[in-house]
Amino acid sequence: MGKWPLFSPRTPQQARSSSLILQILLFSNLWYSILYWCIVLITFVWKWWSLPLDRFTIAWKIIYGIALGLFTLAEPPRLFLGYMGNLCEEARHLVAFIVLSVLPQLVIAGGVFGQPIIYPFETFFSGTLLLFLLAEIFFSVGTARRVVRANTHRWRTRMAFTKHLPLREEDATRT
């Protein structure tokens, strides 16, 4: 029979570790991120030309432009890693998704509230994005934990059947 295949088909006894709620959040956030990016870009251009030129607003405009660029660069890989980590049950992709959700995206979405001039629609759209990010972080941490547990169990089962190792440490101490 030989070695086990890398991606063996699931038996009915093996449960899925991926999260349907996380998948729905990722799908909704994909479309919302496009809408959010368009609104932030239009607002950025509008504020760029309408605000007076003093040192504070020039520094703020530069920081806002850098934040918009970071959001543009980080959001597609973040969503891709979330999709791949959830659907393929890969812990490394989920961990990278969590890191990209916390560091650039959460800080950028929350940074909108520190602007010198903020409009009510910016508060609404940024608050909604923050809720998306917090929900995704919450559900992706739980999914990553389930994926790690399931992969550890599969590995222990495979080792027990191929090398006759015990499934748990308690089983090793009994013999």
What is the arithmetic mean of pLDDT over 2-10?
A: 46
Is residue 14 included in any domain, yes or no? no
Q: The tokens of 120 are what?
A: 């009510």
What is the Cα–Cα distance from 44 to 37, expressed in whole angstroms?
10
Average pLDDT over residues 127-153: 90
Rounded CA-CA distance 133/106 in Å is 7
Any domain includes 169: no
109: pLDDT strictly greater than 90: no
The answer on pLDDT for 1 being more than 80 is no
User: Quick one: which of 135, 116, 127 has its CA closest to 60?
Assistant: 116
> Does the residue 120 lie in any domain?
yes
Task: Let me know if residue 4 belongs to a domain.
Answer: no
Task: Name the E strands within the chain.
Answer: none
- Cβ distance 140 to 97 under 8 Å? yes
Q: Is 157 contained in some domain?
A: yes
- Would you say residue 172 lies in a domain? no
Q: How many CB atoms lie within 10 A of CB 78?
A: 24
Given this model, what pLDDT does residue 134 score? 93
- Residue in the block written with tokens 């080792």: 159
Q: Do 62 and 97 contact (CB within 8 A), yes or no?
A: no
Q: Check whether 2 has a pLDDT greater than 90.
A: no
- In total, how many domains does the chain have? 1
For 29-76, write each residue's pLDDT tens digit: 999 999 999 998 998 888 888 877 777 677 888 888 888 899 999 999
Tell me the average pLDDT of the chain: 82
Residue-level pLDDT at 89: 86
Question: Does residue 109 form part of some domain?
Answer: yes
Helix, strand, coil distribution of the chain in percent, nearest 5: 80, 0, 20
pLDDT tops 60 at residue 13 = no
Neighbours of 41 (CB within 10 A): 13
- Give residue 146's domain range: 20-161
Residue 69 lies in a domain: yes
Residue 7's pLDDT is: 46
